[in-house]
Chain A
Amino acid sequence: MSFLTVLYALLFYTATALFIVGLAYKIRQYATTPAPLKIPTTPAPTTTGGVVFRMAREVVLFESLFKSNKWIWLFGWMFHVALALVILRHFRYFQEPVWGIISFIQPFGMYAGFFMVLGLLGLWVRRLFVERIRYITNPSDHLMLALLVGIGVSGLMMKFVRHTDIVMVKAFFLGLMRFDLQPLPNDGPLLVHLALVALLLIVFPFSKLLHAPGVFFSPTRNQVDNPRERRHLAPWAAELDK
């Protein structure tokens, strides 16, 4: 087994472990921290079903962002939808046989890569040239964009410029999942692509990418507007009643 294969195998095991443990830790933290007061941004749904619908519009359509700024919405939404397609498309490297739905989205997923990069570049241009957004930007915000663009571009390179032996790649990942190492092709764009993806997994639980789990726990969006009908009491607040 080549050094490279072992190195990447270790990298992915570590990255995945950090990603899962880190994210589980944060999700647990969000879930166990009480929300002592009813603070939905109103008008808010008065039923749980309504809240599910509100969250769905927020997560799928970026409703609040749409209300605010069409450019940020356009680039942000384009990037996220494309990313979702690209991720789904990549499922096929982890399953045998490949599900029908994953095969179905293959062609969309391939071109989604371009939209993903385009969306990211749009966001980056705004970050660089819109004074207000430049003001609130930290170096990490640029690095995050660089990382994602890097992943997108290296991925597109493999698909459209310098083909990688994708059968081998798939064997490598299926092998990883069964703890049975298979050789990884020694290919520039592939190695860059995989290293950046591993890096993304690692930084996820430590960075602003926490917005992904965070949005589901945001009390201004996920609370039902029924404070007069139900007494809402957090454990630490109930203590004060005694």
Chain B
Amino acid sequence: MAAAKFDTPKMREYPSIPALQPDATAHLKSFLAAPEHNTFLGFPGELVENWQEKAIEKMGDLLGKYRGLRVFMDACVKCGSCTDKCHYFQGTSDPKNMPVARQDLLRSVYRRYFTFAGKFFPGLVGARDLTREVLDEWYNYFHQCSQCRRCSVFCPYGIDTAEVSMAAREIMDSIGYGQKYCNEILGKVQKVGNNLGLPGPALEATLEEFAEEISDDTGCNVEIPLDREGVDVLLITPSADFFAEPHIDGLMGYAKVFHAAGISWTLSSYASEAANFSMFIGSYSNMKKVAERIRKAALDLGVKRIIVGECGHAWRVAYSFWNTLAGIGSGGDDPYAQQLQKQLDHSYPIPQHICEFTWDLIQQGKLKFDKSQNDHRVVTFHDSCNVARATRMGTEPGGQFDIPRNVIKAVCNNYVDMAPDTIREVTYCCGGGGGLLTDDLMELRVKGALPRMEALKKVIDEDKVNAMAAICAICKAQFTKIMPYYGIPMDTIVSLHQLVKDAIILPGQGEEEAEPAAEATE
């Protein structure tokens, strides 16, 4: 693929709002899905003949199914509050990357076909016919939204552009105009069990290798079990944890925590994927199918707890949607949800995030650390959007910010936060979320990372930060790829549980050979 050359944006000393450059990223179009990717998911293979009529019909259908969409289409007053909040706008200067302008791509069509004013006075209210140009604009710009929800924090009516872009993608899928990256992956997870298409035996071999590596390192017999029945915990983690750096180190971190706490656990080859890209394309039915694989795995393996590894949107789907989609949670009174509920141990949250799990053990004093093992690092933490703005950890609102930081501080001596207007609730997206982590959108990914890179550069310069921990597979993959564009070493990005892995002392570890181990660290 011969990607066009582009310039990495200059880091600004004081982030300012860029002047508009209309159509600056109008040329960015991610690859269309091949017919077989679409049809497998139940969508037409190619753009259908009467696509316009079908699209409007689908829009009507969604307006009747999603109150959010309905209210968001009507309620915007064009106040402008959200206009400067999107990292893609900041990085590209394209006005259509302003959240309200992105919504307007859909809203203009909504007004034309579904409102009195738009039917009779289209010019007055900015209503547009759904033409081929409009459809292509939808395709391009609704695939320049990472569904990070940063704009929704600042909208006086909570209008969430993520919801709008999910609806737009769902409409496009319904007429055979889907995106390759998302749809191809969704096929793999439903055929093979994970986004990679990594079959069971290959997965088993990989996991054995990792387990050996930890055991060699520590002298303890650490396992990474697969498909083991009757254990306490089923761990559902993004498949990137099985092959990508620095994800693997996170996986080894989880394994060490389970080992140290003496809690039996397993991965599942049938449900070897926490990611659920159906959310990105707004497909409820596919999201449900992928979530049901996890319920099936939990029932088949007879586990008592379900824990989710480091992945942002996956945690959103797990925390916010699993109970709805597949009854994985508490409080369902339908017979359907109750079967699983009977099996699961309700003294723990269902599902539980790996950070909640580790933090709980730390609080109980069940884990031992040598924090000095992380002394070569000055660590900061990147709040992933979906975790920050669409989920919670622990019992208190905001636990999703504090618990990961607490874990880091329990295993590292040097921690600093990035600027307050770039973290926690108002954190900036990595630039690669929401189904955009594909090479055909490299320019967008690099440009969209600008605000995060600026904030990181600042703490690198001022506080000598050399490690940014994250708890999202997409964030980690994205940063590894784009940091070099900004002159930041790619190994600056680390898994949160990588820090845990490096500091944790397993029971019995180093007892016979305490001396050599201490030497080896120097």
Interface residues in chain A, defined as those with a beta carbon under 8 Å from any beta carbon in chain B: 26, 29-30, 33-39, 41-46, 50, 58, 62, 64-65, 67-69, 72, 76, 123, 126-127, 130-133, 135-141, 143, 206-208, 210-211, 214-215, 217-221, 225, 227-234, 236-238, 240-241
List 3 A-B pairs, minimum CB-CB distance, nearest first.
A214-B75, A231-B332, A220-B158
Interface contact A218-B397, CB-CB below 8 Å: no
> Given contacts A35-B68, A136-B101, A208-B77, is CB(A41)–CB(B397) below 8 Å?
no
Interface contact A231-B334, CB-CB below 8 Å: yes
Contact among B70, B83, B84, B115 for A30, CB-based, below 8 A: B70
| Smallest Cβ-Cβ distance to B333: which chain A residue | A231
Instruction: Report the minimal beta-carbon distance from B328 to chain A, rounded to whole angstroms.
Output: 9
Interface contact B116-A206, CB-CB below 8 Å: yes
Contacts of A218 in B (CB 8 A): 68, 71-72, 75, 157-159
25 contacts between A and B (CB under 8 A): A30-B67, A33-B65, A37-B324, A39-B160, A43-B398, A43-B401, A135-B101, A136-B78, A138-B124, A143-B124, A208-B74, A208-B76, A217-B67, A217-B71, A218-B157, A218-B159, A220-B152, A227-B321, A228-B329, A228-B351, A230-B329, A230-B331, A234-B65, A240-B284, A240-B288
CA distance A69 to B332 in the complex (A): 41
Interface contact A237-B159, CB-CB below 8 Å: no
Interface contact A136-B100, CB-CB below 8 Å: yes
Contacts of A65 in B (CB 8 A): 79, 81, 154, 156
Other than the known A46-B392, A50-B397, what 20 A-B pairs have Cβ atoms closer than 8 Å?
A: A37-B284, A41-B153, A43-B400, A132-B80, A136-B101, A137-B78, A140-B117, A140-B125, A208-B74, A215-B75, A218-B75, A219-B71, A219-B158, A220-B163, A230-B329, A231-B324, A232-B324, A233-B334, A234-B65, A240-B284
Interface contact A68-B85, CB-CB below 8 Å: yes
Instruction: Report the minimal beta-carbon distance from A21 to chain B, rounded to whole angstroms.
Output: 13
The residues in B between 381 and 434 inclusive whose CB is less than 8 angstroms from any CB of A are 388-392, 395-398, 400-401, 425-426
Contacts of B158 in A (CB 8 A): 41, 58, 64, 215, 218-221
> Given contacts A38-B321, A46-B397, A138-B78, is CB(A237)–CB(B284) below 8 Å?
yes
Instruction: Report the minimal beta-carbon distance from A142 to chain B, rounded to whole angstroms.
Output: 10
Interface size on B, residues (CB 8 A): 81
Interface contact B323-A33, CB-CB below 8 Å: no
CA distance A131 to B21 in the complex (A): 11
Does B104 count as interface, using CB distance less than 8 angstroms? yes
Interface contact B285-A220, CB-CB below 8 Å: no
The residues in B between 278 and 296 inclusive whose CB is less than 8 angstroms from any CB of A are 284-285, 288
Does B362 count as interface, using CB distance less than 8 angstroms? no
Contacts of B159 in A (CB 8 A): 218, 220
CA distance A123 to B68 in the complex (A): 27
CA distance A65 to B156 in the complex (A): 5
Interface contact A41-B149, CB-CB below 8 Å: yes
CA distance A227 to B155 in the complex (A): 23
Contacts of B351 in A (CB 8 A): 228
Contact among A29, A34, A64, A220 for B65, CB-based, below 8 A: A34
